[in-house]
Amino acid sequence: MRILMVGDVVGEPGRRLLEQFLPEVRREFAVDFVVVNGENAAHGHGITESIARDWLDQLGVDVITTGNHAFDSKGSETLYQDEPRLLRPANYPPGTAGSGHVKLHTPSGQEILVMNLIGRVFMQPADDPFRMADSILMKERADIVLVDIHAEATSEAQAMGWYLDGRVTAVLGTHRHVPTLDTKVLPGGTAFVTDIGMTGPYESVIGMTKEASLSRFLKARGERWDVATGDLQFHAVLIETEGKKARTIERITRKMA
């Protein structure tokens, strides 16, 4: 099976990139299953119902993961409650709207479990992602298990990869919006990358305009953040599986002319 995971889609530029390149990449690599991180899809913060429905029902995305901006858009609690294919971090406190994992069947009959976790280092309070992963794996069985670890610290993402090596098919990092060079299959057969990178504008500071971002460092009161528009790049990873294990992982990058 070939699985594509697309890194954080940032604002309207990121959505255009996804609409342009996802169908092309699916055809070129005969992709069977698609996961997209969409927590920055609406103006750089959060995701709306119209965006989620368009991706799931029109663009053919199978699962949308999120992170610390999961609930930034108005009315999103109802959306998470109603749409099981839209995930928020599983290790958010009990009682949070929605779910942090979902199990789906592919046309070939395989079961895929997708798990969404958020790190705790330099992030807002959340429950332990390592023990949450254990808890979900104890309750759920699937042919393939994918984990989106949405973390600030590279060390925490890497630790999660080693912790779950051999128990899941892939541990894929999101949130930092900067692609890392460590795509690899770990010794136990788990595909790993610290960060996929964002799908959005790279002439920016992690997707936001340089000017507004610099003001946050240079002034007592920073300017309003806006999504940048230059150097649009699509970033994803492609995993090929053999049974429950990953056989290969490779980066897929496209640039908008």
Q: Which residues pair with 175 in a beta bridge?
A: none
Residues with active-site annotation: 69
Under a CB-based contact definition with an 8 Å cutoff, are residues 170 and 247 in contact?
no
Q: Give the CB-side neighbour count of residue 88, counting CA atoms within 13 A.
A: 26
Q: Concatenate the DSSP letters of all residues of 47-85 into one string.
A: --HHHHHIIIIIS---EEE--TTTT-STTHHHHHHH-TT
Burial class of residue 125, CB neighbours in 10 A (0-12, 13-18, 19+): exposed
CA 55 to CA 79: how far, in whole Å? 14
Give the distance between the most distant pair of CA atoms in the chain: 56
Name which of 64, 43, 44 is nearest 53 in CA terms: 64
